[in-house]
Amino acid sequence: MKEIRIGNGFDVHKIIPGEGLYLGGYFIEGPISLKGHSDADVLLHALTDAILGAVAEGDIGMHFPDIDPVNKGRASSDFLEFALNLAGAKGFSLVNIDITVVCERPKIAPHREEIRSQLAALTGISLERISVKGTTTEKLGFTGRGEGVAAWASVLLSEV
């Protein structure tokens, strides 16, 4: 029987004034950005950590320290590619992704299909295996006050 692995990831980035932000490798134009050492793609960071978690290979900060200048402004798709390759080297491939993005802004629904398509391109799995959900915290907490964006990711990996 093929072994299966579950993984989860969580990340938060602070909202700052700017010209847009990346979610899942997709750029959403607008008056806000996310603060971070890399491109601050909170969704891809949660997803990368979920994949690393499934194969028990530490976390994104261990592999890509935020004190390393080489990671400054770096595209988070590099981190995702690294995690997928690491899982692949251990004999596992991605089955499905389920992500929840928590924020007051930007609204996720208008961008959901573009984000899913981008994730399909980055991971090589089909759209029907990629779920992206948006929710708010009803104005409560840092996400409710519009101070940051949080993302949770769950993944299933299967032995090839």
List residues binding Mg ion (CB under 5 A). Answer: 11, 45
Residue with smaller CB distance to Mg ion, 66 or 113: 66
**Smallest distance, Mg ion to C-beta of residue 33, A:** 14
DSSP SS3 for 5: strand
The Cα 77–Cα 118 span in angstroms is 10
Residue with smaller CB distance to Mg ion, 19 or 66: 66
Residue with smaller CB distance to Mg ion, 45 or 111: 45
**Smallest distance, Mg ion to C-beta of residue 42, A:** 6
DSSP SS3 for 154: strand
Cβ neighbours of residue 1 under 8 Å, at least 6 residues apart? none
The answer to whether residues 102 and 151 touch, using CB atoms and an 8 Å cutoff, is: yes
Residue with smaller CB distance to Mg ion, 11 or 118: 11
DSSP SS3 for 85: helix
**Smallest distance, Mg ion to C-beta of residue 12, A:** 7
**Smallest distance, Mg ion to C-beta of residue 65, A:** 12
User: Which residue's Cβ has the minimum distance to Mg ion?
Assistant: 45
The residue ranges of DSSP E strands in the chain, in sequence order, are 4-17, 20-23, 26-29, 32-34, 92-102, 130-135, 148-159
